[in-house]
């Protein structure tokens, strides 16, 4: 009788109590699973957002550092990189000289042992081509050669960073005090200049067999200077004039 009643109730559309209880449990579990998945997605998005935020801050810091470095480079002279490399090379040379002096060796000989004959010949040609000694032409050229010689002797002090790498806030005018070594080096260089000038100003011996092509001493100096620079171009003309065969 009970089975027939259940069957009849089912035919009328009345749900079975057992079946209805199982469906309710599944409906209650589905919202919990969806909430957990949503929370997990939200946590993943927050993690990615934090990573992007950290990367943005890092990129901003690197960009700021690059801007500062570029501003420093723009304030430096155009050939600063070459000058810096030259100063670093000179510092290494000074350290090498100190090491050789400590071992009791001659630095020039040690340096020559490390240089091949081809490199030495190439550097010698480059040196002659860079600063050839053409003799005295005028006072401007002599002054330029003297300036280049003096600037090559300058030994910068790399320990004073602000003096070597000045910034817009550096105040260097009037604060420099020369060292005793620098003063002694300047005095020695001035003494060499005076000694060299005395040799240049000495009177040259007079040659009785030389041709007289001047009217006074000043004219003789001018003729010697002209002969030194243009003699090779006018030699043939002068010979023709002396033979009387000039056209």
For residue 171, the model assigns a pLDDT of 63
HEC string of the chain? CHHHHHHHHHHCCCCCHHHHHHHHHHHHHHHHHHHHHHHHHHHHHHHHHHHHHHHHHHHHHHHHHHHHHHHHHHHCCCCHHHHHHHHHHHHHHHHHHHHHHHHCCCHHHHHHHCCCHHHHHHHHHHHHHHCCCCCCCCHHHHHHHHHHHHHHCCCCCCCCHHHHCCCCCCCCCCCCCCCHHHHHHHHHHHHHHHHHHHHHHCCCCCCCCCCCCCCCHHHHHHHHHHHHHHHHHHHHHHHHHHHCCCC
Q: Is the pLDDT of residue 240 over 70?
A: yes
Contact 163, 172 (CB under 8 A): yes
- By C-alpha distance, which of 172, 159, 173, 154 is closest to 83? 154
The pLDDT score that the predictor gives to residue 54 is 92
Query: Each residue of 39-97: pLDDT tens digit?
Result: 888 889 999 989 999 999 999 998 988 888 888 878 877 777 888 888 888 898 889 88
pLDDT of residue 25: 54
Give residue-wise pLDDT tens across range 173-223.
666 677 888 889 889 988 988 888 777 655 566 666 777 888 988 898 898
- Residue 22 pLDDT > 70, yes or no? no
Query: What is residue 246's predicted lDDT score, i.e. its pLDDT?
Result: 57
Per the CB < 8 A criterion, the answer to whether 174 and 184 are in contact is: no
With 80 as the cut, is the pLDDT of residue 138 above it? no
Give the residue among 77, 89, 232 at the shortest CA–CA distance from 165: 77
Of 226, 214, 210, 212, which Cα lies nearest the Cα of 136? Answer: 226
Assign 21 a pLDDT band (cuts: 50, 70, 90): very low
Q: What is the mean pLDDT of residues 134-158?
A: 77
pLDDT grade for 120, boundaries at 50, 70 and 90: confident
Q: Is the pLDDT of residue 100 over 50?
A: yes
CB neighbour list of residue 6: distance below 8 Å, 6 or more residues apart: 16
- Residue 1 confidence (pLDDT): 45
- The residue with greater pLDDT, 160 or 105, is 105
Burial class (CB in 10 A: 0-12, 13-18, 19+), 98: exposed
- How confident is the model at residue 228, as a pLDDT? 87
| Residue among 18, 175, 161, 2 nearest 84 (CA) | 161
Number of neighbours of residue 227 by Cβ within 10 angstroms: 14
Tokens encoding 137: 């032409």
Residue 11 has pLDDT above 50, yes or no: no
Region 134-142: mean pLDDT is 74
Q: Which residue has tokens 């946590």?
A: 43
Average pLDDT score over the chain = 76
Q: How confident is the model at residue 13 (pLDDT cuts 50, 70, 90)?
A: very low
18, pLDDT greater than 60: no
Contact 228, 135 (CB under 8 A): yes
Q: Any idea which residue has 């009217």 for tokens?
A: 215
């Amino acid at each position: 009788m009970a089975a027939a009643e259940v069957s009849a109730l089912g035919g009328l559309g009345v749900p079975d109590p057992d079946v209805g209880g199982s469906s309710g449990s599944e409906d209650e579990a589905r919202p919990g699973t969806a909430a957990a998945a949503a929370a997990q997605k939200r946590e993943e998005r927050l993690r990615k957002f934090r990573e992007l935020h950290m990367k943005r801050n890092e990129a901003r810091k690197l960009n700021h550092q690059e801007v500062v470095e570029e501003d420093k480079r723009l304030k430096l002279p155009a050939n600063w990189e070459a000058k810096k490399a030259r100063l670093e090379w000179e510092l290494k040379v000074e350290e090498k000289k100190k090491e050789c002096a400590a071992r009791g060796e001659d630095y020039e000989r040690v340096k020559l042992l490390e240089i091949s004959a081809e490199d030495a010949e190439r550097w010698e040609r480059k040196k002659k081509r860079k600063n050839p000694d053409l003799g005295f032409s005028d006072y401007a050229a002599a002054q330029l050669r003297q300036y280049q010689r003096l600037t090559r002797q300058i030994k910068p002090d790399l320990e004073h960073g602000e003096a070597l790498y000045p910034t817009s806030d550096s105040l260097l005018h009037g604060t420099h005090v020369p060292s005793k070594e620098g003063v002694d080096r300047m005095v020695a260089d001035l003494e060499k200049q005076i000694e060299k000038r005395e040799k240049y100003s000495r009177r040259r011996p007079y040659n009785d067999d030389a041709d007289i092509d001047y009217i006074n001493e000043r004219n003789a100096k001018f003729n010697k200077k002209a002969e030194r620079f243009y003699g090779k171009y006018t030699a043939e003309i002068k010979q023709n004039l002396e033979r009387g065969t000039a056209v």
